[in-house]
Amino acid sequence: MLSGGRCCVSFFFLVVWWVNGCFGGDPYVFFDWTVSYITTSPLGVNQKVIGINGQFPGPILNVTTNWNVVINVKNDLDEPILLTWNGIQNRKNSWQDGVLGTNCPIPAGWNWTYQFQVKDQIGSFFYFPSLDFQRAAGGYGGIIINNRDVIPLPFAMPDADITIFISDWYTKSHKKLRKDVENGIDLGVPDGILINGFGPYRYDTASVPGGIAYQIINAEPGEPNKDTMGCIDCKGQIIIIQVFETCHT
């Protein structure tokens, strides 16, 4: 009886250890992305841009530090592509950084699965195509790495995390831009500035044509502690920034 009792107790501890071992690792998250051309007119001219899952800019990759990220990328373009993860340390696998030399391009019609760990990082980063001027056609998006609950932030928790992309934009396709560079032709001044893929607000009817979609971003985190006004003028686009907090990072 005693011998049997010891066996039962040993088995109980074995089961508990096995369960803890199974669920004690860093979690995995999985994404399926399709990269393809979509038609839009950010500056009032219809053009093909590179979208991800039909979005331009692409979806926000919202993860938590130490998570293992698995992204299956299907290339529906008519040329090879690579996506790089700007600012991500790739501590677990440096062969996933998505640049020529460490990764082979994903051929048209093929897919590739990126696997990396966002280890010991928090903050805002972004991804973009790293080949052949494709970033000039889109294919980029934001990365947010949150802190784990067990590790508190060294500052007050923000009310929100808003990703804003401000980018030069040409109405020429990235292929024509690439050809111009190959032929020694200067690219010249960009045709405009995009904010999160949108064109300028029509603040001046003479400068900005009608029919251009624009975006309004409201930042209202609650009771203001300090009112600070800022203004950014990006070639016809005016952003007024209301700052509510006393501490910033």
Q: 197: closest CA among 138, 155, 152?
A: 138
Query: From CA 115, how far away is CA 92, in angstroms rounded?
Result: 9
Q: Give the phi and the psi of residue 224 in degrees, each rounded to 5.
A: -75, 140
Thinking of the domain 28-160, which architecture would CATH place it in?
Sandwich (2.60)
Domain ranges of the chain: 28-160, 169-243
Residue 207's contacts (CB-CB under 8 Å, 6 or more residues apart) are 236
Q: 71: closest CA among 7, 164, 141, 161?
A: 141
Per residue of the chain (249 residues), give pLDDT as tens: 444 444 444 444 444 444 444 445 889 999 999 999 999 988 888 899 999 999 999 999 999 999 999 999 999 999 999 999 998 888 767 788 888 888 899 999 999 999 999 988 888 899 999 998 999 999 999 999 988 887 777 777 777 777 888 888 999 999 999 999 999 999 888 888 888 888 876 555 666 666 677 666 665 555 444 443 334 444 444 444 444 333 333
- What is the distance, to the nearest Å, from the Cα of residue 203 to the centroid of all Cα atoms in its chain? 29
| Beta strands across the sheet bearing 141-146 | 61-64, 141-146, 123-129, 83-86
**pTM recorded for the entire structure:** 0.74
